A and B are shown apart, each in its own frame.
Chain A
Amino acid sequence: GAVVSQHPSWVICKSGTSVKIECRSLDFQATTMFWYRQFPKQSLMLMATSNEGSKATYEQGVEKDKFLINHASLTLSTLTVTSAHPEDSSFYICSARDLILYQETQYFGPGTRLLVL
């Protein structure tokens, strides 16, 4: 149980286009989902916290107009990278927190590799 999926697993796009990444909790309800970005040989950096039905909370230095987050249901959050540029190329990982289980438990998705040409 407690599986989180991401789609797509990898995406290549041209500079200037927008890319949407989906994060789904498959067998549990997630009131909160988190989006991370990870550059090669670096740690995971929290980008934003997404609560179902409300606006996302962005970490300092993360542009909310560039990284649009929508959390419309208890099982789905989306991250849209708008007007992507090569510097946005990264590994994007989401995690979800279970409504029923312990509040500190987070389950991570497999990640989405984005390459912007």
Chain B
Amino acid sequence: GESVGLHLPTLSVQEGDNSIINCAYSNSASDYFIWYKQESGKGPQFIIDIRSNMDKRQGQRVTVLLNKTVKHLSLQIAATQPGDSAVYFCAEMGTSYDKVIFGPGTSLSVIP
């Protein structure tokens, strides 16, 4: 199956600080990007998405930034809370919308 990388970077942040999780995607033709949160032993949970015709989108405490020039995606979490501790995956979908390809993921650990 397809996958982007097999390692899992980690990020530790203090409770209340802002978190920034980065992702490099591979396909310049990808049209739609999603951030997922996965808690241990559970399926991925949708956080926020963005289309390729946008460079920023905000949700509740989360912001996604898209830089198509360098094929880079980031997720910013404001005022990080212990409940934010999880693995975060970026995912991309091409213009045919046939399937979602997941990035390698980043493990976020929030220090109380």
A34 to B43, CA, bound (A): 13
Q: Which of A34, A47, A59, A62 contacts B100 (CB 8 A)?
A: A34
User: In the assembled complex, which residues on chain B have CB atoms less than 8 Å from the CB atom of A42?
Assistant: 3, 6, 8, 104-105
Count of A residues near B, CB < 8 Å? 29
User: Is the pair B44, A93 in contact by a Cβ cutoff of 8 Å?
Assistant: yes
When each residue 41-57 of chain A gets 1 if its CB lies under 8 Å from chain B and 0 otherwise, what string results?
11111110100000000
Contact, CB under 8 Å: A104 / B93: yes
Contact of B43 among A47, A61, A93 (CB under 8 A): A93
Whether A111 touches B2, Cβ cut-off 8 Å, given contacts A42-B8, A46-B99, A104-B93, is no
List residues of B whose CB falls within 8 A of some A CB: 1-6, 8, 32, 36, 41-46, 49, 89, 93, 97-105
Contact surface of A with B, Cβ cutoff 8 Å: 4, 6, 34, 36-37, 41-47, 49, 59-62, 91, 93, 95, 103-104, 106-111, 113
